[in-house]
Structure 1
Amino acid sequence: MESVRLLILYLALPSVVLSILRQFISWGKNGGKSTKNIPGPQQFPVVGRVHDLDRFCMWKKFKEWADIHGPIYRTSMMGQQFIIISDENIARELLVERGNIYAGRPQIRALFDHKTGPGYVALMDRHQTWSSQRKWVHSAMAEFHRSHFFGVIESEVKKYLAMLLIDPAKFHANTREHCGRIMSRLAWDDATQGKDNGDSADCTLTQMSVSGPVVNTMTPLWFLPWAINPWKKYERAREDHQRAWWLNSYQVAKQRFLKGDLPKNTWSSRYFTQLQSKGNTTLEENAKDEEYASCMLGFQNLVGVITICGPLQFFLMAMMLHPEWQRKAQEEIDRVCGDRMPTTADFADLPTVRACLKETLRWRSGVPLGVPHQAEKDDVYMGETITKGTIVMACEWSINRVPERYPDPENFHPERYLEKEWPTYQEPLSRYPNFREGVGMHTFGWGRRTCLGQHIVDDEMFVTGAAVLWAFNLIHKTCPKTGKPIEFDSEATNAHVILEPLNFPCDFKPRSEERAGHILSGYGEARAELRV
């Protein structure tokens, strides 16, 4: 251990000395006075303000600094410069109107070569691989949304409701598996991969997050020799396993397609059909082309889990904590749907349900830090240079708490989307609120890096959320000793870049014996296509 500590010290020492020298030179040139037009907290040599930041809820410190320094400010961590934005208009100006400058992605230290591809399109720099994968995924999502994902969501929701009825205590894990099953069916027609898909998504997010491997914040540790570097060894094994799984799924789907056994309502079938239309009738590909396609479909599969399961879990929490809104949504569902489970066809007639869903993403941001952008060249803003390589973050937690835009921001108010007196109200209510357009869409990112999954988020969140309220009353669990509701921290999360709440106590009670019967009969009807 002593030799490891010495090695870390020797790795860090040159950067410490260099940073201090640069700081003294800068102070000398400026006469000891700051020339910054963009404000920010006082910085310390090398560390910047990294010592102030809790890796498990960094967004709260960013919000605290925004309250002091304003809607845009500078900070730094271990030599890396950051611009933190807490205002929608500023974020739009830099990340949308100047999106050609701020569309890069920073290096996540605990991942290998993600900027070059082809593994994670959302984390790549902008180049041909990124452009072609993004174009294909965008087109595939839009095409499948026009058919509302061919009923896959509804049939999987029927299974999910049955699992909540049979074993409600496992709702947290079953929600992740539910999202994984939907995406695995759409990608490969193999819902049995749902749990593995969810677990792989969670593991990947851990590697991406500042709350994950310490090398994401203490970069010098990444460069330790391989023999004593547990972080590189772990990531090499994790990524190799994930790539092999994606490639095997791709090759199995290809063989099924060639035999005429792969449903057309899968993204892999769409891809193979396009290959054949270009003359490749036998689907012969070299290793590089198979890697490209399997990663594109694999990541599309994976990202659909991580962007939906956390918000769904927060929605269940919100409904339990706000029974008055649970009742309002249930009354609306009963009036429109009666004894049948809601479907995407009911979207226009259930604005209260949609308002509760959208308010959930504002109240408990799924991506509270925002996904970071990186300046690809120098820019000038507020009369000050933002240098190439600076990381720019639109802090979702702060943006969602601007009181002029979201009055009483700390509390859950679905009526902000339903009543004209609120700044976020939009008409017609048959269309708004939703997750695809309108106000408050910054949850899905900005400009050229906007998330491509808004269509499936809209459908899956709506059908799953409405169906759970149709089927169950969500109530506090009570302590068997005191009979009082069990309290928990509604902000306790896994602290990943895309959040899930920690497991919380919640009871799911069928709304009636008749409704329980409908849940089981619905599962029985769908079971044949579920590949349980």
Structure 2
Amino acid sequence: METSNLTLLLLYLAIPSLLISAVQQILSWRKKTALVGSSGSKAKFPGPRQFPIVGRIHDLPRFSLWLKFKEWADEFGPIYTTSVPDATFVIISDEKIAEELLVKRGHIYSGRPQIRSLIGHKEGVVYSALMDRHDTWKSQRKWAHAAMAAAYKHHFYGHVESEMRRFLVVLLFDPDRFLDHTREYCGRVMSRLAWDDATQGRLNGESADKTLHCMSVSGPITNTMTPLWSLPASINPWYKYEVKREAELRQWWLGLFRKAKERMRKGELPSDTWAYRYFEQMVQNTAPSMPATARAPGPDVKNAEKSPSTAAKEEAYEKKDALDQPEKDETFASCMIGFLNLVGVVTISGPLKFFQMAMALHPEWQHKAQAEIDEVCGDRMPTMQDFEKLPILRACLKETVRWRSGVPLGVPHQAERDDEFRGVKIKKGTIVLACEWTLNRNPQKYPDPETYNPARYLDPSYPTFQAPLTRYPNFREGSSMHSFGWGRRTCLGQNIVDDEMFVFGAALLWAFDVTPKTCPVTGKEVPIDTQKTNSHVILEPVDFQLGYKVREGKKELIMEGGKGFFGKV
């Protein structure tokens, strides 16, 4: 009874906001009508019929929205429009159109739309990928790009392989929790790269999941019923929750940043971390900080290029002074590293889970990949050194991301000024989506698109084939790279996705046979719903079960590889 009364109260409180929104919409229509009347231009994109005030919000599902967008693309063509209260969308399902708008006109379509339930994300400093293009975004993105590129040169310092050895042991003894272990694996890799603290891996994954929930259509209802966000803070449960969640996220990142800084001062922080890279730049007075913030010249520290782990103790005092900074710069840097770390978890965890699902459902491809791995690797766990010799495994990974995209809606772009395309006016603020789910189901590029078929990347008769197979397919370059976004907002993580997915996939199939779970009561396979996901903006499949059988002769090798983590396992 109390819950019903609260819901009713919230709806009544939202009515004034809804009325104001309706009035604004009507005035906007009148203005548009007047402009059309004076200019004579009536060109518009096709799309479903739009209703007054609400647009099409009544039949846009909060879960699996990409399926509706695919349905409309089949009906209205490769570019169409729809709307919800306070937002107009242009939906694209053709690569050439997406390239024209989001790449060639990237100077216009590189803004980010407002996510109602994330506070101040467009301004900064917490969510780099969700900011508008301003000095804070440029500074953070430039630094993250250089840090990721430097780590890739060393294939992420062996952290991917090291954490994979641990994962295999964990899976050996606790296979039923493979979904949790997969996300923690991703979290541990990123936590080692960021701060040299793999113990944060589980929390890293959980935090990433909470953040994704808050930025998704399937998350807080205020992301779709936006007037509810205008309720007074004292009675707004969504606002209260978000204030608390973001404060905890910031504090966690800041605490890890400061802990790493103290290790840097003591000469204990490894040089293969992004925190070390940032602090070293501070010593050299080249580290980015909050834009428009005066930065006093740092002292001339001798031997600044030397690794702190080998630096002379007499330098400690000078380094301590060089690492002092205002709290706002600490917040800027800790969020820059923290968000880079978070994105590295959420963009890889889902595809790795889908890969395990795909292998269980398509044993013929699992066996082909295993035969290839066995021939190349024998009794040793695969590493990045085996990349060129395992094209079947890479094709299975590439096809997984096409078959079940981790970002099926695509990441939204926003027009930063008025534009025109094919005679149609696109107003500033319009949200442009290149729907990844639909792009991946273009029958001309992907024949029989609903079928999982890695041969698309191995057989020259397919449009997506590229040679040589020692290089292609991969996640760094070549065909189907739209999975990483478009233009100036392209994801910076292709290299770590390429390394982490390759090592994970190869090592998993080297060690285990992956099968559907067998019910112990009926003896029948437990069905797998390949469409059941958390429906976040970046997906993970949920609530499916698999069986893992260690392959002959691999148990002892797995345990030997895990000794560094678990002692004599």
Give the TM-score range, shorter chain: over 0.9
Q: How far, CA to CA, are the matches of 2:523 and 2:446 in structure 1? A: 36
Q: Which residue of 1 aligns with 2:185?
A: 178
- Preserved contact between residue 311 and residue 366 of structure 1 (Cα < 8 Å): yes
Partner of 1:486: 526
Partner of 2:510: 470
Counterpart Cα distance in 1 of 2:27 and 2:265: 64
Q: CA deviation at 1:6?
A: 2.3
User: Aligned equivalents of 1:27 and 1:269: distance in 2?
Assistant: 58
CA distance in 2, matches of 1:286, 1:238: 24
Check whether the contact 2:18–2:227 (CA below 8 A) recurs between aligned residues: yes
> Counterpart of 2:561?
522
How far 1:37 moved relative to its partner? Answer: 3.5
**Mean CA deviation greater in 195-204 or 276-285:** 276-285
The aligned amino acid for 2:258 is: Q
Cα distance change, pair 206–125 in 1 and its aligned pair in 2 (3 A): same
Q: What does residue 406 of structure 2 align with?
A: 366
Q: Deviations over 1:262-292 (max 9, x none)?
A: 1111000011111112245320100111011
1:315 aligns with 2:322: no
What aligned pairs does 1:222-371 form with structure 2 within 5 A after superposition?
Answer: 222-278=229-285, 279=298, 281=319, 282=321, 283-371=323-411
Residue 13 of structure 1 pairs with residue 19 of structure 2: yes
One-letter amino acid of the structure 2 residue matched with residue 17 of structure 1? V
1:105-124 alignment runs, 5 A limit: 105-124=112-131
Paired with 1:457 and 1:228, the residues of 2 have a C-alpha distance of: 42
Matched, 1:378 2:418: yes
Deviations 1:473-511 (A, max 9, x none): 001112223322111211100000000000311011001
Shift of 1:28: 7.9
- Residue matched to 2:308: none
Cα deviations by residue, 1:67-104 (Å, 9 ceiling, x for unpaired)? 01110111111131110000111101100000000000
CA distance in 2, matches of 1:101, 1:91: 13
- Aligned partners of 2:251, 2:31: CA distance in 1, in Å? 50
Following the alignment from structure 1 to structure 2, what is the Cα–Cα distance between the partners of residues 454 and 156?
19
> What amino acid sits opposite 1:314 in the alignment?
F
C-alpha distance in 2 between matches for 1:91 and 1:255: 46
Could you tell me how far apart the structure 2 residues matched to 1:38 and 1:463 are?
A: 45
C-alpha distance in 1 between matches for 2:419 and 2:51? 24
**Inter-partner Cα distance in structure 2 for 1:406 and 1:127:** 38
Which residue of the partner structure matches residue 316 of structure 2?
none
Which AA in structure 1 matches 2:377? C
Contact 2:93-2:434 at 8 Å conserved across structures: yes
Which deviates the most, 226-235 or 13-22?
13-22
CA distance in 1, matches of 2:70, 2:245: 34
SS at match of 2:562: helix
- Asked if residue 40 in structure 1 is aligned to residue 47 in structure 2, the reply is yes
1:198 to 191, 202, 205: 205
Corresponding position: 1:424 with 2:464: yes
TM-superposed deviation, 1:248: 0.5
Measured in 1, the distance between the counterparts of 2:10 and 2:541 equals 36
Q: CA deviation at 1:132?
A: 0.9
2:92 to 85, 93, 108: 85
- Provide the secondary structure at the position in 1 that maps to 2:163: helix
Aligned to 1:405: 445
- Higher alpha-carbon deviation: 280-289 or 268-277: 280-289
**Counterparts of 1:163 and 1:310 in 2: how far apart (Å)?**
19
| 1:35 to partner: Cα distance | 2.3
Q: Which amino acid in the other structure matches residue 15 of structure 1?
A: S
SS in structure 1 at match of 2:370 = helix
Q: Secondary structure at the match of 1:468?
A: helix
Q: Match of 1:169?
A: 176
TM-score, length of structure 2 as denominator length: 0.90
Question: Could you report, residue by residue, the CA deviation over 1:171-193 in whole angstroms, capped at 9, with x for unpaired residues?
Answer: 00010011000000110000000
Identity of aligned residues (%): 60
Offset, 1:433:
0.5
SS of residue paired to 2:208: helix
Among candidates 206, 213, 216, match of residue 223 of structure 2: 216
- Equivalents in 1 of 2:98, 2:32: separation in Å? 29
2:202 is aligned with what amino acid? Answer: K
- Aligned partner of 2:508: which letter? V
Greater Cα shift, 217-226 or 18-27: 18-27
2: CA distance, partners of 1:65 / 1:347: 40
AA at the equivalent of 1:213? P
Q: Distance in 1 between matches of 2:381 and 2:35?
A: 69
What is the alpha-carbon root mean square deviation over aligned residues?
A: 1.6
Cα displacement (A) at 1:11: 1.4
Q: Which residue of 2 aligns with 1:65?
A: 72
Q: Distance in 2 between the 1:157 and 1:474 partners?
A: 16
Query: How many Å separate the matches in 1 of 2:9 and 2:202?
Result: 42
- C-alpha contact 2:179 2:353 (8 A) present in aligned 1: yes
Aligned AA (2:116): R
Match of 1:507 among 547, 550, 558: 547
Q: How far, CA to CA, are the matches of 1:150 and 1:464 in structure 2?
A: 16
Offset of residue 27 of structure 1: 6.0
In structure 2, C-alpha distance between the alignment counterparts of 1:246 and 1:228, rounded to whole Å: 29
The structural deviation recorded for 1:18 is 3.7
Structure 1 counterpart of 2:151: 144
Q: Distance in 2 between matches of 1:481 and 1:291?
A: 54
8 Å contact kept, 2:518–2:547: no
Contact 2:189 / 2:201 at 8 angstroms: preserved in 1?
A: yes
Residue of structure 2 in register with 1:155 after alignment: 162
Bigger mean CA offset, 367-376 vs 44-53: 44-53
2:113 is matched by which residue type in structure 1?
A: P
Secondary structure, counterpart of 1:84 in structure 2: strand
Is the contact between residue 89 and residue 430 of structure 2 (CA under 8 Å) also seen in structure 1? Answer: yes
Unaligned runs of 5+ in 1: none
Over 3 Å counting, the alpha-carbon distance change for 1:256 and 1:22 in structure 2 is closer
Structure 1 residue 162, shift from structure 2 partner: 0.5
Q: CA deviation at 1:526?
A: 5.3
Contact 1:37 1:382 in 2 (8 A): no
What is the CA distance between 1:13 and its match in structure 2? 1.0
Task: Give the whole-Å Cα distance in 1 for the aligned partners of 2:437 and 2:361.
Answer: 20
Q: Does structure 1 conserve the Cα–Cα contact (< 8 Å) formed by 2:395 and 2:455?
A: yes
Deviation at 1:40, TM superposition (A): 1.0
Q: How many residues align?
A: 527
Secondary structure of the residue aligned to 2:554 is helix
Using the TM superposition, give the Cα deviation of residue 516 of structure 1 relative to its aligned residue in structure 2, in angstroms: 0.8
The letter for the 1-side match of 2:501 is: M
CA distance in 1, matches of 2:20, 2:466: 56
**2:357 counterpart letter in structure 1:** M
Distance 2:225 2:175 in 1: 41
Match of 1:144, SS? Answer: helix
